[in-house]
């Protein structure tokens, strides 16, 4: 397990000048402080948001907080493969390198089963398949970076997840939290498998612990009461993501809060659930994800950017 500097904070992020980062779901939750602090450190940050109005509001807040930083708003709906493809085409078509991709956006505990524009169960389709497709479609841009990094944000709830290859879409049985946990376990399996298949990039994960976020909008009173006592602010919950994005991380590592059973505190490397370490399931999930999204990963050697 990697030792993280004790009480590591956003003020310890090294210079990100010259780097380009994409943060999905950057308009709210931990996505906003993740984008903010990467921008403060000098990165040019693409603020990728589904809701145009909320995206514009977030961009205004970011620019007001850091007038000299470089933020750019781009529409991205991870529940629509058409939107994912359009976003990736715009970014890749500009010929820019992509140094850091933070797969952060997500939905949680939707009370009744819903489907995306492509017919996928919404939590699995948004949290896992949308980011799987996005990452695959951005490989050309990642190859242009001297040191590309992909951060896939999971959840402590992933420890309760299971991958049932015969019920990936929760058609046989739907449970709001169980389906969410499954999607977050899928995030970890994807992170691990991406690192194995693409050793030329750094593939890491993080989770925010118990953090106040609009993700909890569908949760019950008990969860809301629990969060009112235990929950930390989004700026603190973003620290594991920020360390994964800018710290001394290596592929396969997983970062979460260091205190109160990984619910609060500064980041440290944490152990992923045992199910996330199963390469057989990871390979099977990868194959299913390629089949469902139609995105095939071209994983030849990268084209390195010259210094």
In whole angstroms, give the CA distance from residue 168 to residue 131. Answer: 16
Q: Is residue 306 part of a domain?
A: no
pLDDT of residue 263: 78
Q: Is residue 8 part of a domain?
A: no
- Neighbour count for residue 92 (Cβ, 10 Å): 17
Q: Supply the mean pLDDT for the chain.
A: 92
Q: Is residue 251 part of a domain?
A: yes
Its pTM surpasses 0.85: yes
Q: Is residue 298 part of a domain?
A: no
pLDDT of residue 6: 76
Specify the number of domains making up the chain.
Answer: 1
Percentage of the chain exceeding pLDDT 70: 89
CATH code of residue 201: 3.40.50.720
pLDDT band with cut points at 50, 70 and 90 for residue 230: low
In whole angstroms, give the CA distance from residue 158 to residue 186. Answer: 8
Q: Is residue 302 part of a domain?
A: no
CA dihedral of 186, 284, 169, 127, whole degrees rounded to 10:
30
Which of 23-37, 48-62, 218-232 is the least confident region? 218-232
CB contact set of 237 (below 8 Å; sequence gap of 6+): 29, 30, 208, 209, 211, 212, 213, 257
Q: Which domain holds residue 207?
A: 16-293
CB-based burial label for 288 (10 Å; 0-12, 13-18, 19+)? middle
Q: Is residue 277 predicted with pLDDT exceeding 60?
A: yes
Output the six-digit token pair for 65. 């907080």
CA dihedral of 247, 84, 300, 187, whole degrees rounded to 10:
50
- Neighbour count for residue 250 (Cβ, 10 Å): 11
Which of 139-143, 204-208, 257-261, 271-275 is the least confident region? 257-261
CB contact set of 306 (below 8 Å; sequence gap of 6+): none
Which phi and psi angles does 129 have, rounded to 5°?
Answer: -65, -40
Structural contact between residues 104 and 25, judged by C-beta atoms closer than 8 angstroms: yes
Query: Is residue 180 annotated as part of the catalytic site, yes or no?
Result: yes
Q: Is residue 4 part of a domain?
A: no
pLDDT of residue 232: 87
Q: Are strands 254-259 and 264-269 parallel, antiparallel or unpaired?
A: antiparallel
In whole angstroms, give the CA distance from residue 168 to residue 174. Answer: 10
Which of 6-15, 18-27, 156-165 is the least confident region? 6-15
Q: Is residue 192 part of a domain?
A: yes
Q: Is residue 94 part of a domain?
A: yes
């Amino acid at each position: 397990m990697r030792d993280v500097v004790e009480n590591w904070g956003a003020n310890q992020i090294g210079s990100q000048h010259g780097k380009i980062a994409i943060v999905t779901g950057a308009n709210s939750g931990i996505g906003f402080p993740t984008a903010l602090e990467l921008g403060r450190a000098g990165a040019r940050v693409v603020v990728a948001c589904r809701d145009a109005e909320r995206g514009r509001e977030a961009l205004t807040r970011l620019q007001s907080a850091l007038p000299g930083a470089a933020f750019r708003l781009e529409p991205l709906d991870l529940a629509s493969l058409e939107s994912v493809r359009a976003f990736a085409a715009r970014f890749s078509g500009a010929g820019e390198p992509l140094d850091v991709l933070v797969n952060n956006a997500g939905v949680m505990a939707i009370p009744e089963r819903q489907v995306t524009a492509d017919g996928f169960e919404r939590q699995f389709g948004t949290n896992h398949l949308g980011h799987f497709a996005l990452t695959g479609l951005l490989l050309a841009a990642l190859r242009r970076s001297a040191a590309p990094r992909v951060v896939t944000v999971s959840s402590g709830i992933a420890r309760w997840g299971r991958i049932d290859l015969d019920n990936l879409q929760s058609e046989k049985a739907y449970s709001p939290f169980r389906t969410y946990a499954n999607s977050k376990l899928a995030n970890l399996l994807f992170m691990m498998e991406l690192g194995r298949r693409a050793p030329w990039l750094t593939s890491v994960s993080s989770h925010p612990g118990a953090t106040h976020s609009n993700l909890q909008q569908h949760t019950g009173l008990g969860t809301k009461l629990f969060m009112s006592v235990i929950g930390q602010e989004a700026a603190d919950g973003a620290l594991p993501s920020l360390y994964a994005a800018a710290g001394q991380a290596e592929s396969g590592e997983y970062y979460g809060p260091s205190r109160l059973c990984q619910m609060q505190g500064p980041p440290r490397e944490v152990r992923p659930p045992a199910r996330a370490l199963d390469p057989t399931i990871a390979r099977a999930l990868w194959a299913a994800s390629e089949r469902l999204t139609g995105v095939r990963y071209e994983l030849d050697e990268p084209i390195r950017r010259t210094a």
